[in-house]
Amino acid sequence: MTSKNKTENVIQFNPNPSREEAMRAVKTLIAWAGDDPEREGLVETPKRVVKAYEEFFEGYKMDPIEILSKTFEEVEGYDEMVLIKNIRLESHCEHHIVPILGIAHVAYMPKNRVVGISKIARLVDIFAKRLQIQETLTSQIAETLQNVLDPLGVAVLIDASHQCMTTRGVYKPESSTVTKKMIGVFSEDQNLRSEFMDLINQK
């Protein structure tokens, strides 16, 4: 194959495809799978899939820094860990575009300011609602919190099941993947790290 032909076969990234283009792509996948995209049960499926994708991947349209921009400095001297446990997480594997389902535990040690706890959960959603691998997702949450809030440290642990392993491939439905990222005092202080792990394991 010549260099010219190789170039011609590369699909150029279009950052703003139309809704109609997206629906045509779904119809193509339905036909490729072996069914008729025009039969009654499937004729509206492209529209529904595109609408679902808007929800699944709404994180691309959101700014994580803006979410954390409103903070509070009146903390009355509070200087202990802030931990939000069991944050429901729904993402999609960037390798197969199948669900990643699990929970995130996010903690930070405030220095001068804190942020509303709902903002932490929203931050998890923003990065989760993108095509991801779990390792990257874990780091993105931790690094963004550290960079925006400038706390003494951040700890993030995610425990999730990947349907690319549970419903295809190696078919291991009992498996889950745990990733963690420790920054600042959570990385340096073994006792604090142990406290974080103990707290997230408490019922």
Same domain, 80 and 179: yes
Q: Which pLDDT does position 71 carry in this prediction?
A: 86
The catalytic residue among 96, 146, 174, 190 is 96
Q: How far apart are CA 173 and CA 89, in angstroms?
A: 18
Q: Does the annotation mark 134 as catalytic?
A: yes
Measured CA to CA, the distance from residue 28 to residue 69 in angstroms comes to 42
The pLDDT, as a whole number, for residue 1 is 46
Q: Is residue 52 domain-shared with residue 100, that is, in the same domain?
A: no
Query: Is 66 inside any structural domain?
Result: no
Q: Is 105 a catalytic residue?
A: no
Q: Quick one: 90 and 151 in the same domain?
A: yes
User: Can you say how many angstroms the Cα of residue 197 is from the centroid of all Cα atoms in its chain?
Assistant: 21
- Please give the pLDDT value at position 162: 86
Instruction: Please give the average pLDDT of every successive group of 10 residues along the chain, which has 203 residues.
Output: 52 82 96 96 97 96 93 80 97 94 97 92 97 97 96 97 78 85 97 97 86
10 belongs to a structural domain: no
Task: Give catalytic status of residue 76 as yes or no.
Answer: no
Residue with tokens 């400038």: 150
pLDDT of 85 reads 97
- Residue 4 placed within a domain: no
Q: Which residues pair with 162 in a beta bridge?
A: 100
94: enclosing H helix or E strand = none
Do residues 132 and 91 make contact, with C-beta atoms less than 8 angstroms apart? yes
Active site residue 140: no
Q: How far apart are CA 155 and CA 40, in angstroms?
A: 50
Q: Do 99 and 42 share a structural domain?
A: no
Q: Is 164 a catalytic residue?
A: yes
Terminal Cα distance for the chain, rounded? 61
Residues 87 and 175 in one domain: yes
Whether 191 is covered by a domain: the verdict is yes
Q: How far is CA 169 from CA 21, 136, 166, in A?
A: 30, 22, 8
Distance CA 70, CA 74 (A): 13
Residues 196 and 140 in one domain: yes
* pTM as predicted: 0.87
Residue 6 located in a structural domain: no
Provide the domain limits for residue 167.
73-201
In a domain? residue 62: no
pLDDT attached to residue 13: 74
Query: Does residue 102 sit in the same domain as residue 42?
Result: no
**Residue 93 bears catalytic tag:** yes
User: Which member of 21, 95, 135, 188 is catalytic?
Assistant: 95
